Structure 1
């Protein structure tokens, strides 16, 4: 179910979730670009991606999918593996989901320490939840996701096979069908990680 249905039933919740998604996706892609740039690859900078400007990171089709389907994506950050090497690619790739995990932990810490406020609690829980979803989802070792590129950096021969699969015309559709079929266990994993975040910070 997309965000459009939420807009009709609860406009305030729509605004909170939409802003949380924009913030989280922007930081995720910025983290990819920033780490790659710091490690010597100027490709993200040449595309204007070393920025926290959401316009540079949001993908029109991915945003529409979020609105109408409830699942979408941001614009991938272009990097040149030859400028980074095997371990540079790993760190630049891992930076995205790790940034989301940091945001989730910060939100959990604020929930545990700030005086209770209904609106603030809703905002923090929403941002925390969105970032846990992004962190866990992107770390899955599934083609087209960050997890597959991390795995490919650790096991180069497997990385080449995954890259060949991603180059196939219908790879996106195949991956989306797989994710849909595996939505229940993925959801359970996301729930466990969210509970771990809240437990870790004492919220």
Structure 2
């Protein structure tokens, strides 16, 4: 009897687990840091949690498996509630990326010391997807975190003008995937983050 399909199922479930976690910890990071900055919009909406059911966007999840990139439901924030709007925007924008990298480092340390093969494979998948989420979200394309960070330093008039084009972001990302430009752009970013995480392996 051929049991190869079990390996495929196991691989799929491991990847799904890693994706759910990477999404959840990323969005939790945004919500938690917004809370620390004085804005409880996300907390009151039930988004300050690592429960994936609170964060998953179904279509975004399907795209994750089909096109190798996807998204979660955006965490609602109100910058006007921040104690300091600029610091709030910067820290909340970078919070998801930081949480993904911190998670990748955490699982790298577990991977290093654990001896059970199946758990090492789970940790490896968690490392890969957390680095991937950090790498993808740092791109300066609306509404990704990289853009949120950069927009903090732009004049309001420029932000307002550029905001009009955010509806084209999805089309831009699709084109980047289809032309393989996204992989070309992400590769050095992923390698850089991987280098940081590998120091803990």
Query: What is the 5 A alignment of 1:122-133?
Result: 122-133=121-132
Structure 2 unaligned regions, length at least 5: none
| Mapped contact 1:144–1:172 kept (Cα < 8 A) | no
2:103 and 2:152 map into 1 onto residues whose CA distance is: 25
Unaligned 5+ runs, structure 1: 1-6
Equivalent residue for 1:190? 190
- Who is 1:91 aligned against? 91
Q: Is the 8 A contact 1:87 1:153 kept in 2?
A: no
Shift of 1:120: 1.8
The 8 Å contact of residues 114 and 120 in structure 2, kept in 1 or not, is answered as no
State the alpha-carbon separation in 2 of the partners of residues 175 and 67 from structure 1: 15
Query: What residue in structure 1 maps to residue 48 of structure 2?
Result: 50
Q: 1:141 to 1:197 in 2, by over 3 A?
A: same
Aligned positions, number: 192
SS in 1 for 2:165: helix
CA gap of 1:145–1:121, structure 2 versus 1, over 3 A, is same
1:31-68 C-alpha deviation (Å, 9 max, x unpaired) = 10111122111211232211222111001111122233
Q: Distance in 2 between matches of 1:99 and 1:165?
A: 28
Trace 1:42-191 onto structure 2 (pairs within 5 A): 42-84=40-82, 85-112=85-112, 114-157=113-156, 159-166=159-166, 168=167, 170-181=168-179, 182=181, 183-191=183-191
**Distance (Å, rounded) in 1 between the aligned partners of 2:7 and 2:163:** 42
1:17-56 equivalences in 2 (<5 Å) = 17-56=15-54
Whole-angstrom CA distance in 2 between matches of 1:40 and 1:117: 43
- Residues 123 and 9 (structure 1 numbering): CA distance in 2 closer, same or farther, change over 3 Å? closer
Residue pair 1:148, 1:159 contacting (<8 A) in 2 also: no
1:108 and 1:128 in contact (8 A); partners too: yes
RMSD: 2.1
Q: Give the C-alpha shift of residue 71 in structure 1.
A: 2.1
TM-score, length of structure 1 as denominator length: 0.85
TM-score, normalised relative to structure 2: 0.85
2:13 maps to which residue?
15
